[in-house]
Amino acid sequence: MLEHEKSRIIEMAWEDRTPFEAIEETFGYAEKEVIKLMRASLKPSSFRLWRARVTGRKTKHKALRSPEVSRGYCPTQYKR
Does residue 39 belong to any structural domain of this protein? yes
Q: What is the pLDDT of residues 16-51, one digit of tens each?
A: 888 898 899 999 999 999 999 999 999 999 999 999
Does residue 74 belong to any structural domain of this protein? no
pLDDT, residue 44, reads 97
Does residue 23 belong to any structural domain of this protein? yes
> The domain containing residue 29 runs over which residues?
3-64
Total number of domains in the chain: 1
| Cα Rg of the chain, angstroms | 12
For the chain, give the secondary structure using H, E and C. Answer: CCHHHHHHHHHHHHCCCCCHHHHHHHHCCCHHHHHHHHHHHCCHHHHHHHHHHHCCCHHHCHHHCCCCCCCCCCCCCCCC
Does residue 76 belong to any structural domain of this protein? no
Nearest to 21 by CA among 66, 65, 78: 65
pTM: 0.74
Does residue 50 belong to any structural domain of this protein? yes
Does residue 75 belong to any structural domain of this protein? no
